[in-house]
Structure 1
Amino acid sequence: MPRPRRSNRASGARTKYTDDPFEIAGVSDESDGGNVSSRRKGKTAVRGSGSSDEDFKVANDKEDEEDEEEDQDESDVEMVSENDNDRGEDGPVLHEEEVEIANPQPKRTPSSQARVFKKRQADGMLALKDDDLHSRGIRNPSDHVGKVIHLQSTFGVDEKNLLSVVYARDRWHKGIDSAFPTRASLNEAQTLPDYGYGLTFGVEPDEAIQERTRGWDWYYTDDVGGRLRKRQRTEHIDETEARQVYFLRPNREKHTVFIGPVNDQTRFDLGQQEVLNFGEAWGKVKNEPPATKETKEDGAAAKKYLAAVSPISDDQKEAYSPSKDSGSSAVLPSPPYPCVLQLWSFKAKRENSLTKALDMKSSPRLRLGLCTNWGDLRRIAWCPIPRDSRDEDEEEALKNVGLLAGIWGDGYLRVIDVKLSRDPNTTEFQKVQTPIFEAKPASTVCTCVGWLSPTDIAVGCANGFVAIWSILPSPDAPSNPIPYFYHPIHSTYILNVASAYPTNPHLLSTTSMDGETRMISIMDPQKDVVETTRMRMGSAHLSYSPFLQSFLSTDENDFVRLLATRRFFTTTAVARLPSTISAHAPSSPWHPSALYGCTGGAVYGTNPLRRLLHTKEKQWQQAWFTHEWVGGQSSDSDSPGISRFHDGYRAESVSLLRNMLGDRKLINGTVVVTIFEEGTHVTALSWNPNQAYAGWASAGLGCGLIRVEDLAI
C-alpha cells in the first residue's frame, strides 16, 4: 500500500535557540561543506533570519504549489526582504507562516525589520479587491503618502479649495507668524496674488460680492427690513437707575493690579469701569503727549466696538427670586434677572497702511448699555457676514453697529439691531423691551448660537436638538416662530455649534455633554453625518477657521485639536496648554492664528497652518500673558482682590505626544488636576473681525478685568 502523500510545509514557525556567537552573527560551518555563509552588507533576510533560501524548503509537490498560489491570491500583503534572492523567483512567494526562524536576533533595529509592500494604484491609493470591505470611500490619512495625496485627502481635489490653501500658505508660512499674526503679513493681502479664490476661501468672487451687497437688500426694504426694525422697542433710562438695577454693584475698594517688568512691577488701583494704559508700567516715552479726551473732531477717526457682559451678583438675584429653584439652571429657564450688555468704543490710529494700531492717546469709553430683564446673557454672537456701507446708513439719525444674537437665561434666542448715537462723547442707557426677533423651542431651552447667513441662525438646545430659524418676518408667522430645521444631533445638552462659513455654510459641527463631536449637513442630517473620537468630557469650545478649512476644538487633556472638514473623523493636535482650557476666541477671517485661555490665567496663540500642511513640522505657540489673582486683605467677600500680570514670553515648541514620560499631570504615577482661584481664570477671548484691525484681541478674566491689546507686531 503506497504511503499517503503529505506536505513538507511546517505547521508553525519553529524557533531555534543557540549560544554560539558565530551562529548568532550568521556564520556557520555546518552547511555547504564547511563554506561560510554570509549576507550582503545592509541586507536582511525574511523575519530577521540570517540563513539563505536553502534553509527554507518548499515541497515540489504539485498540489502544494497550487495551495500556495491560492494563499498568495487571498493576501494582498506580501512579506518580503530587501534581498532579491529572497523573493522566490523560482517558486511561490514565502508567507509569514512558512518562515522558519533559525537564528532569532535579540532585538532588531527598524532598518533591519521586514518591510511590508502594499499594492497601490497610480495615484497612490491602496488597491483594494472587490471583496475587501472599507468604511469610508476616501484615503486613509494614516497611510504614508506623498504631499500631493496628503493635500488632496485634506482639502479635496477641487482647484478652488487647493488654490485658497496655496494662498494661505504663501501668506502665513513664515516662521515669524508661527504664533501671532504680524502686521507685514496682514498688509500683504493687498500685494500677494490671491489665485482667484484666496481672499474668498474657495467661494466664487462674484458670489462673495453679492453676499455682502445684494444679500443685505432685505434689511433696507420697507416691507421686510422696515417691519423687522419696527419690532424692536427700546426706551431710554437714567444712568442712575441703570447702574443701581442692572450693573454690578460697585465695590468699596479698588482692584489692585501689578504689571510691568518682572523685577520692577508698577502698582495701579482700578475702580469699576475705569481704564488703565498698562504701557505706562514700562516707562513713559519722552515728549509724549498725555492721554486726552475725545472731541467731536476726533469722532471722524475709525472706531471699533467691544461687547462685554457680566452676571449680576447673588444678592441681586435673591431680590428677584427669593426661593431656591429646583432642578438645574442650565436646562430650565431662569427667573427674569436683570442684565446689561456693555458696548465700549476703541479708537484706531490714522495710518497709511492697511492695518491700524490702537490709539493709546485716546482712552476707551463706555458708549452704550443695553439693559434687559431676561436672565443672564450667556452667549453672544455678532453676525459675521460682511455688509458694504450704503447711503441709507448715513441718512439715519443713529449709527448702525450690527446684528447681535444672544442666548438669555430664560432659554430664548434673541436678535438685537444695535445702534448708537453719532455723538462720540455720549453714553446711552437703553432698556430693550422687544428685540427684532425672538424664539424658543418647545419643552427645552437654547444653549448656544451660530450664524449661517444674514438671515439664518442655528441654535443648539438642551435636549440635543439643533434648530435653525430665519429672522425674516412673514405675514402668518406666530408669536413664537417655528424653526424650519429641527433635528436631534446628540442625546443630551449641546455645548456649542459652529458653521463652516463661508467655505461650506451648510456644514454644522456640534459638541455635546456626552463627549461627542459631530459634523452634519443640514441638507440631509440623517445620512451626511460624521463624528470624531469621543472624549470623556464635553468641550464647550468650537469654531471654524476658513484659512485651515477645519474646525478647532479642545479635549480633556488640555490639547487643542484640529478637525479638517474632509478628515473630520481624525484629529490633529496643534497646541497644548499648561492647565484646563477655559476660553477660545472664534477664528478670525483674516489670519489663521488661534487664541486659547486656561484656568491658570495664561493665554496662548498658535498658527496651526504649518502643521496642517506638513505633519512633521514642529508646532510653535506663544504666551500672550499670564494672570494671577488672590483675594484682598479685606474681610469683605466682595473684595475685588489683587491681580498680577506677566508679559514678554517668547515662542516655544512643545511636545504634542500623549502620555509622554514626565507628563506634568503625573505625580507619583497619579493623574492630578490643579484647581485655580476663580478670579484667575480666562473666561472669554475674541479677535477683532474687521480686516484693518485683525490684530486686535481682547481677554476677559474671572476677576472682572478686560485686557485689550494689538498683537500684530
Structure 2
Amino acid sequence: MASNSHEKRLDSNLDVDISEGDQATIAQSVHNSSDEEFVADASQQSHDRDEFDATFQEISDFEYQEGAQPASRPRNKRSWIPNATKTYNEVQPYPTDPSQKWTRTYVGPVKRWTRLSYLLDYWFGDENDRQKIFNKFWHLWWQFELLPPRLSPGSHQLESAKRSWMPENFDQIQEDRFHTWYRRYLGIRTLSQTSTLIDKAKAYRWFLPQVEGEMSVLLGHVSDQKEYFIKQGESIPFSDAGFPIEDIDNPEPRNGGWLLDVGGIVLSMEWMPINGQVDQLLAMTVIPYSDQAFYKDLDDAPKASDLKAGAVQIWKFKVEKDAEGIIRPARSSPKLVHALCSSWGRVTQLRWSPVPLAVGDQVAFLAMLCDDGRLRILEIKQDSVSDDKGIFRELQEPMITLEPPKEHTLEINCFTWINMNRIAVALSDGSVAVCSLSPCQQLQRHPVHSSPIMDIVSGYPSHPFIIATMPMGGVFTLTDLNRPTAEKTYHGNPLVSLQPNVLAWNNHLKGFASIWPSSFPGTSTVSFVQSRVFPLSRHICTVEGQTTCLAFGTCHPFLLLGSSDGSVWALNVMRKITSHRQKTHKVKLFQHEYYSPMPSDTVDEDDSQPRSRGVCRILHGFLPQVNFHPLGTRVAKESKVKRARAEMRASKKMLEKIEDDDDYEDIPDADEESFTMVPGPIAVQEPLTRITALSWNPNADFSWWAAAAMGSGLVRIMDLGIENTDKEDPKEGEQAEESFEVEADGTGEINDDHDEPSFEEEGEKDVDENEVGDGDVEMMESD
C-alpha cells in the first residue's frame, strides 16, 4: 500500500496547472519519498558551502594541495579570478550586454583558460570535498594519456574508480533495494514472462542471422600479414600486441582478446553489469546483411513481413588468472550461451539495468527496443547463461511492455535507464516520457524537441534524473526531470543526427560526449559538455570520416570513438579537457577495411570452393597522434605566416626579395605536425567497413576491456589495460592517493607557474603555432 500511495502522489504532481513554486515543493517531497529506494540518500549528497574555504589559491593546473600555502605572485590588473564570496550553486545571470551580438556563443563564468582549481568549483560545486575526490582521479589517470591502467583487485584505487562520486556503500545499497523491489514486484504482478525452448536449427532458420561461406581476414604486422579464414560463430585469439595466436596450447604469448564472427551487422551491444571476477557476458543485437544492402530494384528488398523476426544474443567470454594473479582473457573460444528470439521485429537497441548484481543473484533485467515501436523488459536468469551448451528461447510474453501513447504513427525511438524502476523513452514526435516498471504506467511526458529524438542518455548514478537528448535536427538539450518545465537548457549550435550511439555520459567528469557539427564532410568532431555548464563545449577529438559510435568508460574517463572509415580511436578525456595548454594525444587502436566479394554472376558455378563473404584487413600498431583542433591549427599557421611576412617587410634586406604579397617562398612553413582543415582527398569506404557499435566493460575488475563491432560482422574484444607501475602501498591506505606532491611555486610535473592572460588582455598579439591549444578555439562556431 505504501508503494501505491507513493505512485498516486507522484501522478498528482504531474498536473500542469499547478504553479512552479508548488510544483518544485511537491516534486522535492516526491523525490525524497517515492524514489527513496532507487536513488542515493540525499543527506549523503548535501551541499554545505560553508565547510569549503572561501579563499581560492591562485595556483596553476593540478597544484592544489590541502594545507599548502599559495606562493605569492603578481596578479594581472584585469584579474579573472572569481570572487571569493561567490557561491557556485547560484545560477549566473543572463548576459545583457548589447554588444554581445553572437547568438551561438557562450558567455559565462567559465572560460577556456580557467585554471583547474576554479574549474572544479564550477563543475563539481554541488559536491563536498570535490578537490580531494578529484585528486584521487588525477592520481589514477593523469599519467595514462591513451588507455586505462589495470588496477589491482580489491585495491583502494579500484574501489575509488568504481564509486566515482558516490558513497562507499552505494553499490550494496542499490543491490539491496533491487532485491526488495523485485520481491515486491513478484508479489503484485499479474502476468509473468513466458517463453518456450527451441532447438538451434529452428533458431537459426527463423530468428538468428545465418550466412554461408568464409570470411577472409588479413591479420598481423602491416609488412607481413597472413590470411586467415573464419566462419560464423568462430573466433581467433590474439595477443596483447595484436598478433593472432596460432598455437592455442602454448601459454605464451598471453591472450589479449578475440576476433569473433557473428555473421551480421551489430546494431547495439552492452556488457552485463555483474560484480566479481567471473566470466563476462556481452549482449548484442545482430541483423542480416540483407537488411541494409543496396538494391537496384526495390522489389528485391526484404518485405516488412520478412523483418518481423528478431533476437538478442548473449555471448560468454571466459577469464583466467596468469602467474602474476592478473585476470586476463582465457584461451578458450567465446560461446553463444543464450539467444532470446521473438516475432516483434528487429531489435534496434538494448540496455542492461544499470544496477550491478552479485554472482549469486538469480535474475537480471535487459531492456530491448523492437521495430514495432515498443520497449520490452526481459528477465534473464543467471542459470540460463551459466552453461556453455547454449540455450535458445522463443519469447511469447516479456516481463514488462512499455508502449508509446496511442497517437498516430508515434513510436519509441530510443530509451535510457534512470534507475532500476524508471526508464525515460524518447518518442518520434520529439517528446520524452518517463515510465515506471512497477506499477507499469507513464508518469511524465514533456515536449523537448520539434523533431524525432535519435539518442537519449541519463546521468546515472550521480544525476539519474538529468537526461540529455539529441534530436534528428535541432539543438542538444539537457532536461532535469525533477522540474522539467523550468530546469532545462540547451546548446545553441544546431546539429543533425541520423543515428543513435553518438551520445555518452561519464560519471567521473559528470558530463556528456557527443558528436559536433562540422562544415567539412571529410572530418567529424566530438565535444564534451559538463552538466553544470552545459552550453559550454570543449573539443575532444577530430577524426577523418564520420563518427558512427562512441563509448565512455564507466570506471574511468577514457573514450572510444568509431568512424565510418573503419578506425577506432581512444584517448583520455580528463586530460584533454582540464588543461588547455597541455599537448595531448590520441591513438588509433586499429583500422578495419572491408572489400565485398565478386558479384554472383561472375563466379564459376562449378567451383567446389565455398563462396567467399568478402575480405577484411585489420591494421594495428599505430603511433599516437597529437590531438589538436584543425581550426586552431589553421589559425596558428596563418598567424605565423602573417608574423613572418611582417618581419620580412621590416627588414631592409628582405624588402628587396619580396616581389609581391603572394610570394611565400622565403617564409618559414608551419610545424610538420600541423595540417589545414582539409587534410586530403575524401575516401568513400564500403558501407560494411564502418564501426557500428562500441562498449566499455562497466565491471570494475574488467573496466579496461572493450568491444568494437564492425559492419563486416566481426566483433573485436580487447583487453586494453596498461600495466600500472605506480602500485598502491597497502600500508599507506587512502593517504597514498590523497598526497599531492607539487612544489608550492608551481614547478611540479606541470610547469605553469606564470599567470595566463585572457584574450582581452592579449589584444591582437600574434600567437605562435606551438602555443595554440584547443582551448583557444571557440567551439560554438561550426567551421
- Relative to the length of structure 2, the TM-score reads 0.64
- How far has the Cα of 1:417 moved from its partner? 1.1
Correspondence for 1:371 among 338, 341, 348: 341
**What's the RMSD between the two structures over aligned residues?**
3.8
Correspondence for 1:699 among 705, 708, 711: 708
Correspondence for 1:403 among 365, 388, 397: 365
Partner of 2:179: 216
For residues 215 and 301 of structure 2, the distance between their equivalents in structure 1, rounded to whole angstroms, comes to 33
Partner of 1:112: none
Conservation of the 8 A alpha-carbon contact between 1:261 and 1:282: no
Partner of 1:65: none
Partner of 1:592: 557
The answer as to 2:583 corresponding to 1:618 is yes
Partner of 2:413: 447
Aligned residue for 2:429, secondary structure, equals coil
Conservation of the 8 A alpha-carbon contact between 1:213 and 1:387: no
Aligned residue for 2:442, secondary structure, equals coil
Conservation of the 8 A alpha-carbon contact between 2:106 and 2:536: no
Aligned residue for 1:484, secondary structure, equals strand
1:86-125 counterparts in 2 under 5 A?
A: 117=78, 122-123=83-84
For residues 258 and 248 of structure 1, the distance between their equivalents in structure 2, rounded to whole angstroms, comes to 24
Conservation of the 8 A alpha-carbon contact between 1:450 and 1:498: yes
For residues 82 and 615 of structure 2, the distance between their equivalents in structure 1, rounded to whole angstroms, comes to 65
Conservation of the 8 A alpha-carbon contact between 1:599 and 1:681: yes
- How far has the Cα of 1:374 moved from its partner? 1.1
For residues 445 and 179 of structure 2, the distance between their equivalents in structure 1, rounded to whole angstroms, comes to 25
Correspondence for 1:680 among 673, 689, 692: 689
Return 5+ residue gaps in structure 1 as ranges.
1-114, 293-299, 394-398, 474-480
- How far has the Cα of 1:193 moved from its partner? 10
Partner of 1:632: 597
Correspondence for 2:617 among 644, 657, 666: 644
Conservation of the 8 A alpha-carbon contact between 1:579 and 1:600: yes
Compare 342-351 and 151-160 and name the one that shifted more.
151-160
Aligned residue for 2:152, secondary structure, equals helix
For residues 487 and 240 of structure 1, the distance between their equivalents in structure 2, rounded to whole angstroms, comes to 46
Partner of 1:155: 124
For residues 317 and 426 of structure 2, the distance between their equivalents in structure 1, rounded to whole angstroms, comes to 32
For residues 415 and 565 of structure 2, the distance between their equivalents in structure 1, rounded to whole angstroms, comes to 27
Deviations for 1:597-618, whole angstroms, at most 9, x for unmatched residues? 1011000011111133222222
For residues 121 and 243 of structure 1, the distance between their equivalents in structure 2, rounded to whole angstroms, comes to 64
Partner of 2:442: 483
C-alpha change, 1:403 and 1:354, in structure 2 (3 Å) is: farther
C-alpha change, 1:286 and 1:519, in structure 2 (3 Å) is: closer
Aligned residue for 2:544, secondary structure, equals coil
Deviations for 1:267-323, whole angstroms, at most 9, x for unmatched residues? 11111222222449556579716999xxxxxxx982111112221354899xxxx98
Partner of 2:486: 527
Partner of 2:525: 559
AA aligned opposite 2:336: L
For residues 301 and 505 of structure 1, the distance between their equivalents in structure 2, rounded to whole angstroms, comes to 27
AA aligned opposite 2:462: T
C-alpha change, 1:269 and 1:122, in structure 2 (3 Å) is: closer
- How far has the Cα of 1:665 moved from its partner? 5.8
For residues 577 and 85 of structure 2, the distance between their equivalents in structure 1, rounded to whole angstroms, comes to 20
For residues 93 and 378 of structure 2, the distance between their equivalents in structure 1, rounded to whole angstroms, comes to 57
C-alpha change, 1:200 and 1:421, in structure 2 (3 Å) is: closer
1:5-20 counterparts in 2 under 5 A?
A: none
Partner of 1:511: 470
C-alpha change, 1:500 and 1:242, in structure 2 (3 Å) is: same
Partner of 2:327: 356
C-alpha change, 1:170 and 1:246, in structure 2 (3 Å) is: same
Conservation of the 8 A alpha-carbon contact between 1:335 and 1:375: no
Partner of 2:148: 181
Conservation of the 8 A alpha-carbon contact between 1:182 and 1:712: yes
Conservation of the 8 A alpha-carbon contact between 1:246 and 1:339: yes
AA aligned opposite 1:590: C
C-alpha change, 1:211 and 1:423, in structure 2 (3 Å) is: closer
Partner of 2:535: 569
For residues 600 and 513 of structure 2, the distance between their equivalents in structure 1, rounded to whole angstroms, comes to 43
C-alpha change, 1:121 and 1:553, in structure 2 (3 Å) is: closer
C-alpha change, 1:260 and 1:228, in structure 2 (3 Å) is: farther
Conservation of the 8 A alpha-carbon contact between 2:489 and 2:535: yes
For residues 316 and 575 of structure 1, the distance between their equivalents in structure 2, rounded to whole angstroms, comes to 29
For residues 107 and 134 of structure 2, the distance between their equivalents in structure 1, rounded to whole angstroms, comes to 20
For residues 367 and 230 of structure 1, the distance between their equivalents in structure 2, rounded to whole angstroms, comes to 26
- How far has the Cα of 1:348 moved from its partner? 0.6
Q: Which structure has more RCO (C-alpha within 8 Å, separation ≥ 6)? A: 2
Partner of 1:94: none
For residues 285 and 80 of structure 2, the distance between their equivalents in structure 1, rounded to whole angstroms, comes to 59
For residues 131 and 348 of structure 1, the distance between their equivalents in structure 2, rounded to whole angstroms, comes to 54
Conservation of the 8 A alpha-carbon contact between 1:355 and 1:693: no
Correspondence for 1:241 among 188, 202, 205: 202
- How far has the Cα of 1:324 moved from its partner? 10
Compare 260-269 and 657-666 and name the one that shifted more.
657-666
Compare 655-664 and 641-650 and name the one that shifted more.
655-664
Partner of 2:666: none
- How far has the Cα of 1:415 moved from its partner? 0.9
Deviations for 1:188-226, whole angstroms, at most 9, x for unmatched residues? 8714498xx87533333355532222343121x2x5135
C-alpha change, 1:188 and 1:277, in structure 2 (3 Å) is: closer
Aligned residue for 2:227, secondary structure, equals strand
Conservation of the 8 A alpha-carbon contact between 1:405 and 1:449: no
For residues 409 and 248 of structure 1, the distance between their equivalents in structure 2, rounded to whole angstroms, comes to 16
AA aligned opposite 1:236: L
Conservation of the 8 A alpha-carbon contact between 1:500 and 1:508: yes
For residues 341 and 712 of structure 1, the distance between their equivalents in structure 2, rounded to whole angstroms, comes to 28
The answer as to 2:313 corresponding to 1:342 is yes
Partner of 2:219: 259
Correspondence for 1:471 among 437, 454, 459: 437
- How far has the Cα of 1:556 moved from its partner? 3.2
- How far has the Cα of 1:462 moved from its partner? 0.8
The answer as to 2:631 corresponding to 1:658 is yes
Partner of 1:609: 574
- How far has the Cα of 1:535 moved from its partner? 3.2
Conservation of the 8 A alpha-carbon contact between 2:512 and 2:531: yes
C-alpha change, 1:418 and 1:143, in structure 2 (3 Å) is: closer
Correspondence for 1:424 among 349, 368, 387: 387
C-alpha change, 1:388 and 1:554, in structure 2 (3 Å) is: same
- Give the number of aligned pairs: 553
For residues 348 and 203 of structure 1, the distance between their equivalents in structure 2, rounded to whole angstroms, comes to 28
For residues 232 and 435 of structure 2, the distance between their equivalents in structure 1, rounded to whole angstroms, comes to 38
C-alpha change, 1:148 and 1:434, in structure 2 (3 Å) is: same
- How far has the Cα of 1:139 moved from its partner? 5.0
The answer as to 2:289 corresponding to 1:309 is no
Conservation of the 8 A alpha-carbon contact between 2:161 and 2:556: no
Deviations for 1:577-601, whole angstroms, at most 9, x for unmatched residues? 221111112x222111110110110
Conservation of the 8 A alpha-carbon contact between 1:680 and 1:701: yes
- Relative to the length of structure 1, the TM-score reads 0.70
For residues 577 and 525 of structure 1, the distance between their equivalents in structure 2, rounded to whole angstroms, comes to 35
For residues 664 and 592 of structure 1, the distance between their equivalents in structure 2, rounded to whole angstroms, comes to 29
Partner of 2:139: 170
Conservation of the 8 A alpha-carbon contact between 2:171 and 2:355: no
Conservation of the 8 A alpha-carbon contact between 2:215 and 2:615: yes
Deviations for 1:338-372, whole angstroms, at most 9, x for unmatched residues? 0121111110113598862111x211111111111
C-alpha change, 1:572 and 1:469, in structure 2 (3 Å) is: same
C-alpha change, 1:698 and 1:125, in structure 2 (3 Å) is: same
For residues 187 and 324 of structure 2, the distance between their equivalents in structure 1, rounded to whole angstroms, comes to 38
AA aligned opposite 1:168: F
Percent identity of the aligned residues?
Answer: 23
